[in-house]
Structure 1
Amino acid sequence: MSDVLLHTTGRAAHITLNRPKAINALSHPMVLRIAEALTAWEHDPAVETVVITGAGERGLCAGGDIRAVHDDARDGDGTAAAAFWYDEYHLNARIARYPKPYVAIMDGIVMGGGVGVSAHGSVRIATERSRIAMPETGIGFVPDVGGTRLLALAPGELGTHLALTGAQIGAADALLCGLADHFMPSGSIRPFADDLAELPVPEALARHVRSAPEGELAGHRAWIDACYPADTVEEIVQRLSAHGDPAAKQAAETLLTRSPTSLKVTLKSLRRARRLGSLEQVLDQEYRVSCATLATHDLVEGIRAQVVDKDRDPHWSPATLAEVTDADVDRFFAPLGERELGLAPPGRAAPPTAHQARDEDHDR
Structure 2
Amino acid sequence: MNAPLKEPELIVRREGAAGVIRLNRPKAINALTLQMARGIDAALDGFAADPEVALVLIEGAGERGLCAGGDIRGLYDSAQQGGDLGPVFWREEYLLNARIASFAKPYVALMDGLVMGGGVGISAHGSHRIVSETTKVAMPEVGIGFFPDVGGSYLLSRSPGEIGSYFGLTGAIMNGADAIYAGFADSYVPQSAWPALRDALTQAPAATAAQVRGIVARFAAAPQPGAAELHRDRIDAAFAHDTVEEIVSALSRYGSEFARATLQALQSKSPTSLKVTLKLLREARRLPSLRACLIAEYRAALQVFVSADFVEGIRAAVIDKDRSPKWQPSRLEDVSDDIVARYFVGRGEKELQFPD
Give CA deviations for 1:67-89 in whole Å, capped at 9, x if unaligned.
Answer: 11111111223x12110111000
| Contact 2:29 2:67 survives alignment (8 Å) | yes
Give CA deviations for 1:81-132 in whole Å, capped at 9, x if unaligned.
Answer: 1101110000000000000000000000000000000000000000000000
Distance change >3 Å, CA 185–CA 337, structure 1 → 2: closer
- Paired residue secondary structure (1:119): coil
294, 307, 310: which is aligned to 2:318?
A: 307
- Asked if residue 26 in structure 1 is aligned to residue 37 in structure 2, the reply is no
| Contact 2:295 2:349 survives alignment (8 Å) | no
Amino acid at match of 2:116: M
Give CA deviations for 1:210-245 in whole Å, capped at 9, x if unaligned.
Answer: 111331111111111001111210110000111142
231, 250, 268: which is aligned to 2:261?
A: 250
Aligned counterparts of 2:336 and 2:96: Cα–Cα separation in 1? 34
162, 172, 187: which is aligned to 1:167?
A: 172
Cα deviation for residue 338 of structure 1 reads: 6.3
- Asked if residue 104 in structure 1 is aligned to residue 104 in structure 2, the reply is no
Q: Which residue of 1 aligns with 2:304?
A: 293
- Paired residue secondary structure (2:234): helix
- Name the Cα RMSD after superposition: 1.2
Equivalent residue runs for 1:1-364 within 5 Å? 1-77=7-83, 79-199=84-204, 200=207, 201-336=212-347, 339-343=350-354
Amino acid at match of 1:206: A
Amino acid at match of 2:277: T
Q: Which residue of 2 aligns with 1:358?
A: none
Consecutive unaligned residues in structure 2, runs of 5 or more: 1-6
Cα deviation for residue 343 of structure 1 reads: 3.0
Aligned counterparts of 1:202 and 1:21: Cα–Cα separation in 2? 32
Q: Which runs of 4+ in 1 moved over 2 A?
A: 197-200, 337-340
- Paired residue secondary structure (1:57): coil
Amino acid at match of 2:106: P
- Paired residue secondary structure (1:91): helix
Give CA deviations for 1:192-215 in whole Å, capped at 9, x if unaligned.
Answer: 111112224234213211111331
Aligned counterparts of 1:30 and 1:48: Cα–Cα separation in 2? 23
Aligned counterparts of 1:209 and 1:272: Cα–Cα separation in 2? 35
Cα deviation for residue 337 of structure 1 reads: 5.0
Cα deviation for residue 43 of structure 1 reads: 1.2
Provide TM-score, normalisation by structure 1: 0.92
| Contact 2:66 2:110 survives alignment (8 Å) | yes
Amino acid at match of 2:171: G
| Contact 2:128 2:213 survives alignment (8 Å) | no
Cα deviation for residue 261 of structure 1 reads: 0.3
- Paired residue secondary structure (1:141): coil
| Contact 2:164 2:182 survives alignment (8 Å) | yes
Cα deviation for residue 339 of structure 1 reads: 4.9
Cα deviation for residue 316 of structure 1 reads: 0.4
- Paired residue secondary structure (2:285): helix
Moved more, 99-108 or 6-15: 6-15
Cα deviation for residue 255 of structure 1 reads: 0.6
Consecutive unaligned residues in structure 1, runs of 5 or more: 345-349, 351-364
Distance change >3 Å, CA 259–CA 133, structure 1 → 2: same
- Paired residue secondary structure (2:217): helix
Provide TM-score, normalisation by structure 2: 0.94
- Paired residue secondary structure (2:130): strand
- Paired residue secondary structure (2:231): helix
